[in-house]
Amino acid sequence: MKRITVLVMILALLSLSFHLSAEDTIGCSKGIGKGVIWPRLNIKVMNFTEKWSRTLESMVAMDSDDCGLQDASIRQLDFRLGYGLLHNLNVGVNLKYTWGEADKINNAGKFLSLSEKDLTQIWLSGQWFFMDKHAVGPLKHFKLGLGASYGIPLNDTDENLLAGMGPGVGQFKLGPMWHFELGSTGLELAGHALYQWKGTAREVQGWGRSGHNIADTLNYQFKFEYTPFNFMECGAGLTGWIGMEDDMSLKNLDGSLNKGYNHSFMVHAEIFFMGDQYEKRKIFFIMNIPYAQRAMKTAPVVWTLGVMWTFYTF
Amino acid sequence: MNTRRIGFLLLPLFLAGILAAAGGADNQRRRRHRRSRNDSHKYQRILRHALGHHAQCKAYSLDGRRFAVVEQGDERLVALLTADYSDVEGYRGVTNSLVLIDLEGVIREIKVVESEDTPPYVRRVVRKGFLDQFKGLKPGVAPEVDAVTGATMTCDAIRDSLVETMKTFADMAQKLDLSGPEPRAKEESTTLEKIE
């Protein structure tokens, strides 16, 4: 039984890579202690295969027609540096470096192959836990906090916007984050629900989102985590976002607008370099598999691979 | 086969792995803890390390519960490891403390000997003098101590395990005569063994 278990886990580990289990700019819903420096580096890979079709009013394969996007991919390197200011308050900064590639056919029928790379965003974030209890009823290690993050766009050159490296708008996230253990089962539940405000895109000729008000979203995550071995944690749950406004990139044939959404299963595995006593010194793999999505362009799987460490200054 | 299909094939495999691991794998921390509890050599080693190699120390087991009698100068003290008496967990697991009490049951010394919580936090707890607050605590008195900010779970676990240890040993002490050169069970039904 044990050998099969280990084999399954190793197979899964070897096979999978994964979207960040924690909120990618605000950080883990467990937070970090006072005086702890917390660097993290991860790479996220998205190969887009579907896009919104105005004529069919549904998601279609990217190369199913002879106009608009034909192929697109993004690789994003994300470096985050966090610091615990107080035992219940931590701050962080994210730098996102993005490689974007897109093949498209413009309105004149001309085929364009675009490829750009750039430092696209800086995010400043904070996390405050107003509830941090050893036990609350049947729940152990109960943490409830508020996370906020402000994203400053650095990628608003015409070339970067055309290559699909993001909308180039200011963004702000705010909402609750939680983490607790169910009794003494060792099964932990982590998650967040963040409202994400997004600004209005610049006008760029030939860009599908030119001048659009980028729709706000509600980002969510609910996941179970379990640590079967001292050296490993794994987890599974649901994650995604729900459009809170009509998305100007999701037009119907009659010109009406739709709200976007993306709902995914997520699984993750983490290997602790120094055992679970140092739970934030680890390498992690995350995979998001969407089961329902409506957006300007979508990827069938989002993979993330990352590493983080902690330095204790006290 | 596209990546989405691979993903959906791997998802049940991964979930099965989690379920199998959750069902089949005992909590490693507790298993490790139990091993150290049953290992008499490790017990002696911990005592020697915590008390110093020159300390005169004899270990015993009373109805399966371990304790040690320590001669310090003219004084006789009893050494207890809290993990023998308590399963209270902190942030990650059990913190095992060595507590030295005199024959009146007053705490004279307390040291952390091993912990499953994150080491920098445990070191911080010790460095901030959290353990010193317990010195002089009399039996039956609830400790009123200030936890170290940011390490409250470890502090609470140390405090609660100490309280459980003191309470359990107070009951055990009723069955023990520690006044002679060797400890002696007061009742024949009580099993007192020396740990070599």
Structure tokens, A301: 């799987």
Q: Are residues B67 and B138 in the same domain?
A: yes
Contacts of B156 in chain A (CB under 8 A): 134
User: How many CA atoms lie within 13 Å of A200's alpha carbon, on the beta-carbon side?
Assistant: 4
Contacts of A276 in chain B (CB under 8 A): 29, 92
Query: Which region among A18-27, A267-276, B64-73, B187-196 has the lowest average model confidence (pLDDT)?
Result: A18-27
Residue A12 confidence (pLDDT): 40
Residue A93 confidence (pLDDT): 97
pLDDT digits (tens, 9 = 90+) for A110-162: 898 989 898 999 999 999 999 988 888 888 889 999 999 999 998 778 888 88
Contact A276 B29 (CB under 8 A): yes
The whole-angstrom distance between residue B133's C-alpha and the CA centroid of its chain comes to 18
- How far is residue A223's CA from residue A233's CA, in Å, rounded to a whole number? 12
pLDDT digits (tens, 9 = 90+) for B173-195: 888 888 888 888 888 888 888 88
pLDDT digits (tens, 9 = 90+) for A71-97: 999 999 999 999 999 989 999 999 999
pLDDT-derived band at B24, boundaries 50, 70, 90: low
Residue B10 confidence (pLDDT): 67
Whether the predicted pLDDT of B19 surpasses 80: no
pLDDT-derived band at A6, boundaries 50, 70, 90: very low
Whether the predicted pLDDT of B106 surpasses 70: yes
Whether the predicted pLDDT of B84 surpasses 60: yes
Residue A210 confidence (pLDDT): 87
Nearest to A32 by CA among A149, A123, A129, A125: A129
Q: Are residues B21 and B51 in the same domain?
A: no
- How far is residue A120's CA from residue A195's CA, in Å, rounded to a whole number? 21
Whether the predicted pLDDT of A220 surpasses 90: yes
pLDDT digits (tens, 9 = 90+) for B144-179: 899 998 888 899 999 999 999 999 999 888 888 888
Residue A2 confidence (pLDDT): 53
Whether the predicted pLDDT of B138 surpasses 70: yes
Contact B150 A35 (CB under 8 A): yes
pLDDT digits (tens, 9 = 90+) for A192-210: 999 999 999 989 888 888 8
Q: Are residues B24 and B65 in the same domain?
A: no
Other CB atoms within a 10 A radius of the CB of residue A263 amount to 16
pLDDT-derived band at B35, boundaries 50, 70, 90: very low
Residue A14 confidence (pLDDT): 37
Number of domains in chain B: 2
Tokens 């609750």: give the residue: A176
Whether the predicted pLDDT of A3 surpasses 60: no
Contacts of A134 in chain B (CB under 8 A): 152-153, 156
Residue A246 confidence (pLDDT): 95
Rounded to the nearest angstrom, the minimum Cα separation between B20 and chain A is: 6
Other CB atoms within a 10 A radius of the CB of residue A111 amount to 10
Tokens 């605000």: give the residue: A26
Residue B55 confidence (pLDDT): 79
Among the partner-chain residues B6, B17, B153, the one whose CB lies closest to the CB of A8 is B17
C-beta of residue A165 within 8 angstroms of C-beta of residue A116: yes
Residue B31 confidence (pLDDT): 45
List the domain range (segments joined by +) for residue B22. Answer: 1-38
pLDDT-derived band at B85, boundaries 50, 70, 90: very high
pLDDT-derived band at B129, boundaries 50, 70, 90: very high
Contacts of A278 in chain B (CB under 8 A): 118-119
Nearest to A71 by CA among A37, A33, A115: A115
Whether the predicted pLDDT of B27 surpasses 70: no
Contact A33 B151 (CB under 8 A): yes
C-beta of residue A115 within 8 angstroms of C-beta of residue A163: yes
User: What sign has the CA pseudo-torsion A41, A47, A50, A51?
Assistant: positive
Q: Does A159 touch chain B (CB under 8 A)?
A: no
pLDDT-derived band at B14, boundaries 50, 70, 90: low
Q: Are residues B21 and B88 in the same domain?
A: no
The whole-angstrom distance between residue B122's C-alpha and the CA centroid of its chain comes to 14
Question: CA geometry: angle at A199 spanning A85 and A127, to 5°?
Answer: 15
Q: Are residues B34 and B46 in the same domain?
A: no
Residue of A nearest to B14 (CA): A12
Contact A287 B7 (CB under 8 A): yes
Mean pLDDT of chain A: 89
Residue B53 confidence (pLDDT): 75
Helix B119-127 crosses helix B152-173 at what angle (to 10 degrees)? 70
Q: Are residues B78 and B18 in the same domain?
A: no
Contact A300 B7 (CB under 8 A): yes
* B129 burial type by CB count under 10 A (0-12 exposed, 13-18 middle, 19+ buried): exposed
Residue A125 confidence (pLDDT): 97
Whether the predicted pLDDT of A50 surpasses 90: yes
Residue of B nearest to A310 (CA): B120
Q: Are residues B80 and B148 in the same domain?
A: yes
The average pLDDT across A221-249 equals: 93
Q: Are residues B191 and B136 in the same domain?
A: yes
The average pLDDT across B44-55 equals: 82
Helix B3-24 crosses helix A2-15 at what angle (to 10 degrees)? 150
pTM: predicted TM-score of the whole model, two decimal places: 0.81
Structure tokens, A137: 């009823």
Residue A178 confidence (pLDDT): 96
Q: Name the CATH superfamily, with its identifier, for domain A2-312.
A: monomeric porin ompg (2.40.160.40)
- How far is residue B31's CA from residue A211's CA, in Å, rounded to a whole number? 60
Residue A122 confidence (pLDDT): 95
pLDDT digits (tens, 9 = 90+) for A256-283: 999 999 999 999 999 998 888 888 999 9
Three-state SS for B35? helix
Q: Are residues B61 and B142 in the same domain?
A: yes
Contacts of A186 in chain B (CB under 8 A): 22, 27
Instruction: Report the amino acid identity of residue A30.
Output: K
